[in-house]
A and B are shown apart, each in its own frame.
Chain A
């Protein structure tokens, strides 16, 4: 305290009551109506954001997209016929607490599992599809995800149509142990079967595509694409940093980083996704899937 201030009368401090912001207020915006971009903090109307395919107006951040929203944004209206919606896990290893977790996510997401598969069309071009949904168990791959992909690929073979997959997954599902690991082999073998029959395979990796999913079907397209900013990689950042004892660059394992490393055909903005897929389907009408 400065000396001159010692002689001035001290004003009694105004008592301030601490207000603890509620969880909702912390987000700065009323829940539901508006949303704040986690990257550039821009506040936007949820409805406008939806119309913009969940891409931030400010910085172009791609929000995770639910499976049914992707279907709506890409496929011809009313063309989608879902396959194997009734498949659900049977807790094959009798893993403790697993069924409860699945039940909770079912309720939360309205999905049976972390993937929706089916047959539909884009601009009239038919294709089989698989859309992973990261809101269900982080999109992790267990027996059901593996089986649904395999059956959808078999449907593509049967109908002689291409197969397009959107991946969003943290990797193999721990609670199904080695059975999850074997789904990498199962889906990989199905992709090989379709490929050997001349079928077109397109993989679009969205945030995140890591571990056993990136090390199997996600990397096995004739065309491998990614959405901007998506995290894609095999090993986790922390384990790599511990192993090599150095800090990794900020953009490590992003879609842009992988493009630079030669691991992707292109990074596609969500606004151009439909157009580019439509072009690929058009180009492969002769040869490829229609052979």
Chain B
């Protein structure tokens, strides 16, 4: 069954859950501080970058999973999904950049925030899994 999880995958999912929980908590706290305490100076930069740190942990946990997973077939699938996700993000951001450059109405709009790049990568990574696995059935 596809749902059988290896030890490495269970560790990876635990790390992901912890990192994402910290992300939600830190984001909530930072948002509250910006809304109610109005920080100034260097503290603004420090607080603003805090929610990104748990996302670094998410990226690192995926990297560690790739190293720790003993099943070479699973590793192959993961690497291919990562490549697909990276390709989607590169195509998406390139297309968006081109649209913003040449379409006057889009040129003036700020467009999506950069942190959406990781969200798009994750969505593409998840979407690629069944497609990549289907190739090997």
Query: A and B: partners?
Result: no
A positions within 8 Å CB-CB of B: none
